[in-house]
Amino acid sequence: MSSMAWQLIAENRILEAFERGEFDHLPGTGKPLDLSDYFATPAADRMAFSLLKSAGALPPELELLKEAESLDQALLTCRDERTRARMQQQIQARRTAFLMAQERRARHARADGSLEPPLVV
């Protein structure tokens, strides 16, 4: 099937859904789209991050920060000194890994001539 045929099929299905009212009560109806996060993401990473977001997953760098934050919260209630020391080491390791990943991203961006900054959280 040609791409034109697929385009017509897609357009027809969208029109049918529109006529059935399937687009009437979508979240954010009538509000402008906030695309600031999209354009703040380096062009080379946009598709991958979009797929991760659609799947409800985080980029590996942000997963490290999320883990560090969870450990920070657990540390607040931990009373055992050995466990606290181990948790602090784990927090530092995750934050260090995050910073190293950010530096790799920045080097890669500079190497490919991109002027876009690395992902900053």
pLDDT of 15-46, one tens digit each?
999 999 998 888 888 888 888 877 877 787 78
Mean pLDDT on 49-60: 83
pLDDT bin (cut points 50, 70, 90) of residue 121 is very low
**How far does Cα 45 stand from its chain's mean position?**
9
Rounded average pLDDT over 5-22:
92
Q: Which residues of 37-49 are buried (b: 16+ CB within 10 A; e: fewer)?
A: eeeebbeebeeeb
Q: Is the pTM of this model over 0.85?
A: no
Mean pLDDT of the chain: 84
Distance (Å, whole) CA 61 – CA 121: 10
